[in-house]
Amino acid sequence: MDQATLIDILHHRFTDHPDRHPAVKWDDIVSRLSPEMLRSLDWMEQTGGEPDIVAMPNGQWVFVDCAAESPSGRRSLCYDEAALEKRKKNKPAGSVVAEAVAHGVALLTEDLYRHLQTIQPFDVKTSSWIETPEAIRTQGGALFCDRRYDHVFVYHNGADSYYANRGFRTYLMLGTI
């Protein structure tokens, strides 16, 4: 979509959810958006992520996928390219790590996922792959999270697995405001 339309969508979402970014002015956000960031945000929006700015406990501000459920345009993917290569039958269309890298965004970490859940409930019907520590990944596993019973759960699965209700959330660092 064109940049003006995207900025308008982001501005409306920013205005509709002030609890995600207390004491921040829209002008401070929009003035920091580079063309590269806008391309990444456009991809986040087009794949169902509904990106919005979120305050982090460390004072950083990030655009993060705030869709209620794992973004619909980013599901049924295995974790990374190694997992995709390992899969001999019924290969998914791709991997979450490759998609994130290709679009200039990062997978949520466990800490960021847990922080996002303090803002409002997410993934009550779906789940989302998260950044997986190398010690787990080298053994063939990968991590994902969801929210059930008003509690955030972190699970493991084979990195080559994929499901119609598991996608991935991303973020884009904006910096300190």
In this prediction, residue 23 carries a pLDDT of: 83
pLDDT computed for residue 175 by the predictor: 76
- 14 neighbors 61 (Cβ within 8 angstroms): no
The model carries a pTM of 0.95
Q: Say what the pLDDT of residue 177 is.
A: 62
CA-based nearest residue to 147, from 164, 131, 132, 169: 169
**Residue 64 carries which DSSP code?**
E
What is the per-residue pLDDT for 125?
A: 98
Q: What local confidence, expressed as pLDDT, does residue 30 receive?
A: 94
pLDDT per 10-residue tile (average), the chain, 177 residues: 95 96 91 96 98 90 97 97 93 96 97 96 98 97 98 97 96 84
Strand-by-strand arrangement of the 51-55 sheet: 51-55, 60-65, 170-176, 106-107
| Phi (first) and psi of residue 130, to 5 degrees | -130, 170
